[in-house]
Chains A and B, each alone.
Chain A
């Protein structure tokens, strides 16, 4: 079956031992599940840190929040730090209001998220520093 456009807008890349997952324009069930799959797959493949980039995301609905809570759990179980990058004001408010920010850090963009992870002392995600120079 062909992937839907919502799924296609979700993509990921590896930066050292960090996986950067790019969320689509609307975080709903379909795209949320794709993000979760990407995060779980990256963790299973040995990633030691996760960045979810919301720069393109205009809206996060309740289903999206629930799925992100699942990503937080998965990252927590893998002891992998998680950073949400580029969230707009509305999304950031939702994350704050519902307590997601107690478990993840917010960064302005991917570069600063990677810097955050790189600066985590004693964490393997610092391999990302290779890319940051």
Chain B
């Protein structure tokens, strides 16, 4: 080997290192292929060339990169099934394994049909190397003549073959990434569809629960909405917001097993009836626990939405942190709706009474953070800062008609922000 041959080999080796770097760049497929084509052309001093990807869906060769073949990429070349099969088989016979098809002169490209051969010849191809990876024909690289006008030596063909193997793997990997991305998109859509079905089912359940109690129609739906608003106001992530909304929708599911007469009693129920009614949180838990929910806390929200921070709630008399935060949140939403809707045995409270109730019971019955979030959300809506008017729509515009509505809520928020109230409530 003379010094020129040695220098050429060293240049090719250096190019091979460049090629590895370019193939590894997965940010931009077109850019990656263009760079690798440059490396091949520049390593051997080839004036023109192109890399085409096999598009199995259309059975065509789509040119991803070209150089020296005009400003526009060459037109796609249609491939027959026999062309692809022959290319794959030919690649396997090349002595380099299925990953390493031999470079072959176009003049003796026995594996191409006449039509493909004519198309490649029209591009000035002197070497055409199929890119076959794991038995799959992923594309080809074609090279035109060298700047020296000399024929390609066997060593140079070997260099092309080695580089083609890298480029083939690069294209193959990119395909895998594309397919993974496509699968991920499909899976995401499937997941979204399932979530829609789940949400619809939950709302249907909520409607079923509420239909049992003619005086609290829409209660579960509203508690779901309030829980969602509060959680979002508290800055929870969307997954938790959705979970607590579901918990709100289903918190009274246990009422399905309580006698209708007790639920609908138009008077204050007695101790026995009250005991029966108070079974509904635990019954709700029993109904929900066998179901695989997106969030494991949902059955607990049903079970503990009547617990109080001071331990005087039911069914288990839990205190403070013993109660899941999501259940404490649903408790606030549930109580707010109970106060602001007409019941058979209780009239609807006006805003001053509601504010007063929360002022007195926050820290005893209610967790402060959800209470603050609830009233912050209402205040933002009254100030016109909220995107949607949930409270006005659910409670009616007249509910907030008082001139001092804003001051009442701001005053409560101010009081809740001070430690005194929270501490006093906890005592």
- Bound-state CA distance A130–B166 (Å) is 51
Q: Please tell me if the beta carbons of B18 and A62 are within 8 angstroms of each other in the complex.
A: yes
Do residues A93 and B68 form an inter-chain contact, with CB atoms below 8 A?
Answer: no
**What residues on B are CB-neighbors of A29 within 8 Å?**
35, 38
| Majority secondary structure, A binding face | helix
Query: Do residues B45 and A65 form an inter-chain contact, with CB atoms below 8 A?
Result: yes
Q: Are A63 and B38 in contact (CB under 8 A)?
A: yes
Q: Which residues of B contact A94 (CB under 8 A)?
A: 11
Distance of A90 from chain B, by nearest CB (Å)? 10
Partner of B15, one of A62, A69, A72, A100: A62
- Of the stretches B94-102, B109-117, B142-150, B167-175, the one at the interface is B142-150
Q: Choose among B35, B44, B46, B147 the residue with the greatest number of A CB atoms under 10 Å from its CB.
A: B147
Chain A residue with Cβ nearest B41: A66
Is the Cβ of B67 less than 8 Å from the Cβ of A70? yes
Q: Kindly state whether residue B185 has any CB partner on chain A within 8 Å.
A: no
For the complex, give the distance between the alpha carbons of A93 and B47 in Å: 18
| Complex contacts, A73 vs chain B, CB 8 Å | 47-48, 68
Q: Does B118 contact A (CB under 8 A)?
A: no
Q: Which chain A residues border B146 with CB–CB below 8 Å?
A: 98-99
Residue from A61, A66, A69, A73 whose CB has the most chain B CB atoms within 10 Å: A66
CB-CB contacts of B54-90 with A at 8 A, as 1s and 0s? 0000000000000110000000000000000000000
Number of interface residues of A (CB under 8 A): 21
Task: Give every chain A residue within 8 A of B43 (Cβ-Cβ).
Answer: 62, 65
The answer to the question of A102 belonging to the interface, with a C-beta cut-off of 8 Å to chain B, is: yes
Answer whether residue A55 sits at the interface, using C-beta atoms and an 8 A cutoff.
no
B15 CB contacts on chain A under 8 angstroms: 61-62
Q: How far is the CB of A102 from chain B (nearest CB, A)?
A: 6
Name the interface residues of B141-165: CB closer than 8 Å to any CB of A: 146-150
Q: B interface vs A, CB < 8 Å?
A: 4, 7-8, 11, 14-15, 18, 35, 37-48, 67-68, 146-150
- Beyond the given pairs A66-B38, A66-B46, A97-B7, 18 more chain A to chain B contacts, judged by CB atoms under 8 angstroms and listed by A's residue number, are A29-B38, A61-B18, A62-B15, A62-B39, A62-B40, A62-B42, A65-B43, A67-B42, A69-B67, A70-B67, A72-B147, A73-B47, A73-B48, A73-B68, A97-B8, A98-B45, A99-B147, A102-B147
In the complex, 5 of the A-B residue pairs with CB atoms within 8 angstroms, ordered by the A residue number, are: A62-B14, A62-B43, A66-B38, A73-B47, A98-B148
